[in-house]
Structure 1
Amino acid sequence: MNHPHYILLPVNSFFIALSLLGAFMLNLFPWGVHVGVPDFVALVLVFWSIHQPRKVGIGVAFAMGLLMDVHDAVYLGENALAFTLLSYFAISIHRRVLWFPPLVQSLQVFPLFLGVQLIQLAVRLLSSDSHFPGWLFFLECVVTTALWPIASWLLLAPQRRPVDKDDTRPI
């Protein structure tokens, strides 16, 4: 293992809020009915629920779910339920996931993203007379999982200390 182990700086709460707002704005883009567009809010929620479970938890996930419900014009509580359960399960596995590099972490968070889509699909199928959208519906969770290493690198970037050693710094 030649990769240095970073001592991360404390996360700024403003940066967490800004990243959640940015993810919400990315979800607001008019992607249309394109298949495989990732759920950026779910990606950022899982990331912060794993890395900062005391700052981003079930309450934040519920609020972001309600915002997504209003935006998507779906049944009120569909995304809120899915994001709440997503955050709960992300917090429950956060100690185990952090032991692995980002590529292996993506394999461990894939069931979380798949579970969100299954919950959303179940609510839609149970609440209306809609039909099964097809197997390409689940391409969203695959693309979201593929973005996990990139999101990890981007969202941890402000917390990394410089690699070069400075004699005036204690650590």
Structure 2
Amino acid sequence: MTHPHYILLPVNPLFIAFSFAFAFLLNFLPWGSAMGVPDFVALVLVFWTIHQPRKVGIGVAFAMGLLMDVHDAIHLGENALAYTLLSYFAITIHRRVLWFAPLTQALHVFPLFLFVQSLQIALRLIVAPDAHFPGWLYFAQSLVTTALWPIAGYLLLAPQRRAIDKDDTRPI
């Protein structure tokens, strides 16, 4: 027990909405055809689904998936299905993941990101007759998104860590 345990303040729903809007705008950036660009919406979705499953769930995942479908100009429902399943599986492991440190949490969410990417490429290969497998480097996105997990955890929990009234004599 070398690090303190914080009693977190309740999360502000406006901050959750802002984090989704910011992640959506990060996905808008013109990355070009670079492999390994993280899916910021999926990262924020899994984070809030694990930390606040009563506020962010499958409905939010479906809505964000539809927005990403429109943004990516792909088959309507591809990202919606992927994000919905991502949210469902994140809800199923949320109690277990919260017991671990951020680096170990990243190991738990890596299969979720890898599954979503596998599902998306499988749907593209099934639906589009002229589609081809993009190569194994395509899955670098899951690795980069997983590597960002501890940073996202620190940034998204920062507003909840501050004390309302700071007291130097209070140990917590």
- In the alignment, which residue of structure 2 is the partner of 1:77? 77
What TM-score results when the alignment is normalised by the length of structure 2? 0.95
Root-mean-square deviation (CA, aligned residues, Å) is 1.7
What TM-score results when the alignment is normalised by the length of structure 1? 0.95
Deviation at residue 161 of structure 1 after TM alignment: 3.1
Runs of 4+ aligned structure 1 residues displaced above 4 Å come to 167-171
Structure 2: gaps (5+ residues): none
Deviation at residue 90 of structure 1 after TM alignment: 0.2
Classify the secondary structure of the residue corresponding to 1:53.
Answer: coil
Q: How far does the alpha carbon of each residue in 1:31-90 deviate from its partner, in whole angstroms, 9 at most, with x for none?
A: 111010000000000000000000000000000000000000110000000000000000
- In the alignment, which residue of structure 2 is the partner of 1:104? 104
- In the alignment, which residue of structure 1 is the partner of 2:158? 157
Structure 1: gaps (5+ residues): none
Classify the secondary structure of the residue corresponding to 1:125.
Answer: helix
Deviation at residue 169 of structure 1 after TM alignment: 7.0
Distance in 1 (CA, whole Å) between partners of 2:33 and 2:40 is 16
Distance in 2 (CA, whole Å) between partners of 1:132 and 1:170 is 55
Distance in 2 (CA, whole Å) between partners of 1:124 and 1:6 is 44
Matched, 1:90 2:94: no
Correspondences of 1:110-129 after superposition (within 5 Å):
110-128=110-128, 129=130
The size of the alignment, in residue pairs, is 170
Fraction of identical pairs, as percent:
77
Classify the secondary structure of the residue corresponding to 1:132.
Answer: coil
Distance in 2 (CA, whole Å) between partners of 1:165 and 1:46 is 31
Correspondences of 1:30-69 after superposition (within 5 Å):
30-69=30-69
